[in-house]
């Protein structure tokens, strides 16, 4: 019985201390609705996108790797097709990271840098950036929630076509080239 009374007193004391803290410094109170809201890419969908990209390339005769990252560029799914080169893992990961981080197609970025040498430094922003076609941002209703990258097909445009298959399976906004 005494333990229950002591426990109740401790709980009441904590509530009083918290209440005084809010009275003394109400600016410290953060309401849930004031916190940033962010959409996330569920693991199941990330896996579906990566698998769709690898299957599309396989159907075309290419052995590739496909990586899907979240909005922060962290890997959610990575698949390497049977027989795909080891280098394809790194290139797909870096393309996905670049597309999510810079919120743009890696092919468009490569073309932009070719036309405007003054922005060549984009290539060296960090070691994860790879400005080479095959990476697309994953956008749902205009919001970038991740990126998909494909590496291993014989050409950047082919990698990008496989990445596009990953977007299609998600019902994501399809990337349209704008000049």
Whole-number Å distance between alpha carbons of 147 and 67: 8
Whole-number Å distance between alpha carbons of 81 and 62: 9
- Per-domain boundaries in the chain: 2-34, 43-170
**Residue 158's closest CA among 131, 137, 133, 129?**
133
Would you place residue 121 in the very low, low, confident or very high pLDDT band (cuts 50, 70, 90)?
A: confident
pTM for this one? Answer: 0.80
The fourth-level CATH superfamily of domain 43-170 is Haem-degrading domain (3.30.450.150)
The more confident residue out of 86 and 8 is 86
Q: What is the DSSP string of 132-146?
A: SSSEEEEEETTEEEE
- Has residue 177 got a pLDDT over 70? no
First to last CA, the chain: 77
The more confident residue out of 65 and 178 is 65
Provide the pLDDT for residue 179: 41
The more confident residue out of 100 and 34 is 100
- Has residue 16 got a pLDDT over 80? no
pLDDT tens string 36-59: 778 889 999 999 999 999 999 999
Whole-number average pLDDT of the chain: 88
């Amino acid at each position: 019985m005494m333990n229950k009374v002591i426990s109740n007193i401790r709980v009441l004391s904590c509530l009083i201390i918290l209440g005084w803290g809010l009275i003394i410094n109400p600016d410290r109170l953060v309401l849930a609705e004031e916190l940033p809201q962010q959409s996330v890419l569920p693991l199941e969908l990330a896996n579906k996108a990566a698998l769709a990209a690898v299957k599309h390339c396989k159907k075309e005769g290419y052995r590739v790797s496909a990586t899907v990252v979240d909005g922060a560029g962290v890997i959610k799914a990575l698949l390497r097709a049977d027989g795909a080169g080891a280098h394809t893992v790194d290139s797909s990961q870096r393309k996905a990271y670049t597309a999510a981080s810079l919120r743009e197609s890696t092919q468009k970025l490569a073309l932009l840098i070719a036309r405007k040498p003054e922005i060549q430094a984009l290539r060296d922003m960090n070691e994860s950036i790879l400005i080479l076609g095959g990476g697309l941002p994953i956008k749902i209703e205009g919001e970038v929630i991740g990126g998909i990258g494909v590496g291993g097909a014989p050409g950047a445009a082919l990698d990008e076509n496989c990445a596009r298959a990953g977007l299609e399976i998600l019902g994501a906004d399809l990337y349209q080239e704008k000049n």
